[in-house]
């Protein structure tokens, strides 16, 4: 059985994953396309005691998301939104709010995957005939390809590489399913071309 989907993605890692800037992520979050979260210690918001995972607004700590990269690594957070609430709560104790670090600002895993799907960031396609019809993590396959080339070099043939990737997908899947050969070959083709993989054998 494979590991479950990741619960959180730090904003810096998400920016690298998507090939954008953290300022872009802040903008999308400010427009409602994403929810940014962090974890806080117990604080008072009037007569309520709040702790743990909370939603935050990137506009409240906007200097941390400067495109030029000169922003501070930490900033005081003065309002939060609990997950089960629609209203923002202002932190009354401590009076100066809580300090949040850029490394502790995250996006929920389900939000990341939903955003990728809605914007077709990695060109996901449905499974082939006879499979479960769900979505495969093609971005993770690209990471596996990078690891393979870096650690083991190129395989002897395109067919061997496709079989390796089918085995890899099967290991990641709870039920052992994997994409059909055509779907993998389609996504592998530009990588083979970039690597100058001459006349791959079948």
Number of domains in the chain: 2
Mean pLDDT of 29-42: 94
In a domain, 200, yes or no: no
- Is-contact 65 23, C-beta < 8 A? yes
d(C-alpha 161, C-alpha 148), whole Å: 10
Residue-averaged pLDDT of the chain:
84
In a domain, 201, yes or no: no
d(C-alpha 133, C-alpha 135), whole Å: 7
- Using 50, 70 and 90 to split pLDDT, how confident is the model at 122? low
pLDDT at 198: 63
User: Is the same domain home to 27 and 97?
Assistant: yes
Whether residue 202 is predicted with pLDDT greater than 70 in this model: the reply is: no
Whether residue 119 is predicted with pLDDT greater than 50 in this model: the reply is: yes
pLDDT at 123: 53
Q: How far is CA 14 from the centre of its chain?
A: 5
- Domain end, chosen from 114, 134, 151, is at 114
Whether residue 41 is predicted with pLDDT greater than 60 in this model: the reply is: yes
Domain of residue 165: give its range: 122-194
- Domain end, chosen from 62, 84, 114, is at 114
In a domain, 1, yes or no: no
pLDDT at 60: 95
In a domain, 202, yes or no: no
User: Is the same domain home to 77 and 104?
Assistant: yes
d(C-alpha 40, C-alpha 60), whole Å: 15
In a domain, 86, yes or no: yes
User: Which residue do the tokens 């890692």 mark?
Assistant: 13
User: Is the same domain home to 99 and 17?
Assistant: yes
Mean pLDDT of 127-146: 65
- Domain end, chosen from 56, 83, 114, is at 114
In a domain, 126, yes or no: yes
- Per-residue model confidence as pLDDT tens digits over 48-104: 999 999 999 999 999 999 888 788 999 999 999 998 888 999 999 999 999 999 999
User: Is the same domain home to 110 and 12?
Assistant: yes
- Per-residue model confidence as pLDDT tens digits over 159-194: 888 889 988 888 887 777 888 888 888 888 888 877
Closest CA to 37 of 111, 121, 119: 111
User: Is the same domain home to 15 and 73?
Assistant: yes
Neighbours of 157 (CB within 10 A): 14
User: Is the same domain home to 91 and 161?
Assistant: no
User: Which residue do the tokens 């059985």 mark?
Assistant: 1
Across the strands, what pairs with 119? none
d(C-alpha 1, C-alpha 12), whole Å: 29
> CA neighbours within 13 Å on the CB side: how many for 157?
5
């Amino acid at each position: 059985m494979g590991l479950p989907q990741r619960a959180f993605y730090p904003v810096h890692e998400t920016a690298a994953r998507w090939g954008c800037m953290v300022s872009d992520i802040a903008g999308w979050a400010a427009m409602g396309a994403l929810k940014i979260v962090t974890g806080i210690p117990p604080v008072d918001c009037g007569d309520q005691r709040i702790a743990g995972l909370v939603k935050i607004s990137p506009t409240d700590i906007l200097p941390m998301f400067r495109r030029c990269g000169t922003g501070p690594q930490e900033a005081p957070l003065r309002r939060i939104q609990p997950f089960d609430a629609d209203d923002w709560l202002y932190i009354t104790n401590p009076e100066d709010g809580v300090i949040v670090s850029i490394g502790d600002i995250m996006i929920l895993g389900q939000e990341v995957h939903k955003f990728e799907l809605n914007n077709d960031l990695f060109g996901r396609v449905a499974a082939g005939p006879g499979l479960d019809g769900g979505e495969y993590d093609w971005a993770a396959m690209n990471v596996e390809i990078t690891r393979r080339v870096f650690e083991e070099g190129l395989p002897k043939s395109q067919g061997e590489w496709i079989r390796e990737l089918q085995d890899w997908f099967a290991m990641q899947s709870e039920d052992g399913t994997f994409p059909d050969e055509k779907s993998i070959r389609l996504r592998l083709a530009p990588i083979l071309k970039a690597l100058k993989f001459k006349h791959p054998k079948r």
